[in-house]
Structure 1
Amino acid sequence: MNSITTNIAGGARAPSPLPPLVGALGRRLPAWPGSLLCVAALNLVLRPHLPDDVRASLRGKRLRVRVCDAGVGFDFTWREGGFAALRGGAEADLEIGACARDFVALARREQDPDTLFFSRRLSMEGDTELGLLVKNTLDAIDVPLTELGRQALSRLVNLRGFT
């Protein structure tokens, strides 16, 4: 397995938008409920846009999204039909880390992942091929993820009769 690692710490790091108290609290909270919320969002927003070959490549891989300044990490995998939350603790095949503000900027397409990576504000640790697959898949989605999320929530609300 090829491996890529870059450290988020360093002089290029932008100041954290979250107060230190939020990070301290996040480190004390159990990860499992956050992972459940994370996979619910991924299944709502990303699952419909993933090609079959990407789904097959993700199957059984342990992924982790770490929000550094919030002190939280979300573990999940792809199982038949969608993303599924995992309990933390085991080593991830791929861990992606950044501060909350940078993840939001990526989702809105206000920042390029390569720029954040090379400025040491985005880290990827683990399987290089899997990291490139995730990056290229997200790049191939033309609409910002925040817009996809808004559309998905709107459809969900309409289906539930809350209009």
Structure 2
Amino acid sequence: MSNLPTIPRFKLPTIVAAITSRLPQWPHAVALVTALNAAAKLRLLPEDSLAQLEGRHFFVRVNDTGGEARFTYRNGLFRPLFAASGTPDLSFSANLSAFLQLLARQEDPDTLFFNRELSIEGDTELGLIVKNMLDAIELPHLPDLPAFRR
């Protein structure tokens, strides 16, 4: 059981995406690959699944923030892609609340997908590999801090 607070479904005002989408997007990719590389280094991501990501290109869009990240996995590292280079192998898009619920393990990718809160496009087999990687992650237990009590 997670000791994180429950994340409600929400959608940010459309003005947020209108403004943010005009800003440089590379910081999103750098932040995301940094987190993914840290998860890989901590062995939270299964190594056999990581090998199957080699050379594949990914795209993540947070609809209600206007944020986008493009990245690849090459030579054992997630790497940001600073320029769009053709169609990505796999694309994910959702509102911020859906991604936060997924990260907090409050919702699973299947539920979000079938409730039309998470869009996945591209290589179906690759999508299943990524989904199974997410399902296999065992997050370390965080201490029960008073600020996180429900």
TM-score band (shorter)? Answer: 0.7 to 0.9
Partner of 1:71: 66
**Consecutive unaligned residues in structure 1, runs of 5 or more:** 1-13, 152-163
The answer to whether residue 39 in structure 2 is matched with residue 45 in structure 1 is: yes
Aligned length: 133
Distance in 2 of aligned mates of 1:92 and 1:65: 10
Greater percentage in helix: 1
- Aligned-pair CA distance for 1:45: 2.5
Match of 1:58, as an amino acid?
A: L
- Aligned-pair CA distance for 1:15: 5.2
Identity between Structure 1 and Structure 2 (%)? 46
RMSD value over aligned CA atoms? Answer: 2.0
**SS of 1:28 mapped into structure 2:** coil
The answer to whether residue 30 in structure 2 is matched with residue 36 in structure 1 is: yes
Q: Retained in 2: the 8 A contact 1:105–1:111? A: yes
Q: Retained in 2: the 8 A contact 1:31–1:88? A: no
The answer to whether residue 88 in structure 2 is matched with residue 129 in structure 1 is: no
**SS of 1:39 mapped into structure 2:** helix
Match of 1:122, as an amino acid?
A: L
Aligned positions of 1:1-163 closer than 5 A: 16=11, 18-47=12-41, 48-90=43-85, 91-143=87-139
Q: Retained in 1: the 8 A contact 2:62–2:95? A: yes
Distance in 2 of aligned mates of 1:50 and 1:82: 12
Deviations 1:52-91 (A, max 9, x none): 3212211100011111111121011111131100024231
